[in-house]
Amino acid sequence: MPNIHILAEDVRNKIAAGEVIERPASVVKELVENAIDAGADSIIVAIENGGKDLIRVIDNGCGMNADDAMLAFERHSTSKIKTVEDITHIGSLGFRGEALPSIASVSKLHLVTRTAEEEMATIVEYANGKLNNVTKTSANIGTAVTVRGLFKDLPARRKFLKTAPVEARHIIKYIHYQALVYPQISFRLVIDDKEKLNYIACPERKQRIEEVFGSGFFADDVIPVEGKYNDYSVSGYIFGLEDRADKLIDAQYTFINGRYIFDKTVRHSIKAAYEPFILKTRAWQKGTTPPYILFLEIPPEQIDVNVHPAKLEVRFRENNLVHSLVLETLTKALRNYEDQKFASARSKFQGGGKGEKVTSLERDIFVKNIEVPRFSAYKKEFGNLFQDDLFRSEQSSTSPKDMPIFNPAQEENAEQEIFPDQPNDQLKYDILLKNEEDYINPWQFHNTYIFIQVEDGLVIIDQHAAHERIIYEKLIQRSEGAPAVRQKLIIPLVIDIPPYISTEIKDLVEENMELLEKVGFTLKQFSGNSLVIEEIPAELTDFASGQVFIEILKQLEQEMEITTDFRECLAKSIACKSAIKANHKLTRKEMLNLINQLFACQTPYFCPHGRPLMLKIPVTDFEKKFKRTL
Q: Inform me whether the pLDDT recorded for 390 exceeds 70.
A: no
pLDDT at 417: 41
In this prediction, residue 404 has a pLDDT band, given cuts at 50, 70 and 90, of very low
End-to-end Cα distance, the chain = 68
Query: Taking residues 302-321, what's their average pLDDT?
Result: 77
User: What pLDDT, in 10s, does the model give residues 462-517?
Assistant: 999 999 999 999 999 998 888 888 888 888 888 877 776 766 677 778 778 888 88
The CATH superfamily assigned to 9-199 is: Histidine kinase-like ATPase, C-terminal domain (3.30.565.10)
Check residues 73 and 43 and name the one with the higher pLDDT. 43
Give per-residue burial for 473-496: e unless 16+ CB within 10 Å, then b: bbbbebbeeeebebeeeeeeeebb
How many percent of the chain have pLDDT more than 90? Answer: 27
Q: Inform me whether the pLDDT recorded for 414 exceeds 50.
A: no
Where is average pLDDT lowest: 252-256, 422-426, 517-521, 532-536?
A: 422-426
pLDDT at 191: 92
pLDDT at 502: 60
Task: Please tell me what DSSP assigns to residue 358.
Answer: P
The structural domains of the chain, with segments of one domain joined by +, span 9-199, 220-340, 462-615
Q: How remote is the C-alpha of 235 from its chain's centroid?
A: 20
Query: Taking residues 208-231, what's their average pLDDT?
Result: 86
In this prediction, residue 252 has a pLDDT band, given cuts at 50, 70 and 90, of confident
Q: Inform me whether the pLDDT recorded for 148 exceeds 90.
A: yes
Query: Taking residues 65-93, what's their average pLDDT?
Result: 70
The CATH superfamily assigned to 462-615 is: MutL, C-terminal domain, regulatory subdomain (3.30.1370.100)
Query: Taking residues 377-389, what's their average pLDDT?
Result: 51
Maximum alpha-carbon separation in the chain = 121
Q: Does the structural domain 220-340 have CATH classification 2.60.260.20?
A: no
User: What pLDDT, in 10s, does the model give residues 281-295?
Assistant: 665 655 577 889 999
Q: Inform me whether the pLDDT recorded for 564 exceeds 70.
A: yes
The C-alpha atoms of residue 463 and residue 469 are separated, in whole angstroms, by 10
Query: Taking residues 289-316, what's their average pLDDT?
Result: 80
pLDDT at 64: 92
User: What pLDDT, in 10s, does the model give residues 592-621?
Assistant: 889 889 988 888 888 888 889 999 898 888
pLDDT at 393: 47
- The 3-state secondary structure of 407-439, one letter per residue: EEECCCCCCCCCCCCCCCCCCEEEECCCCCHHH
Q: Inform me whether the pLDDT recorded for 528 exceeds 90.
A: no
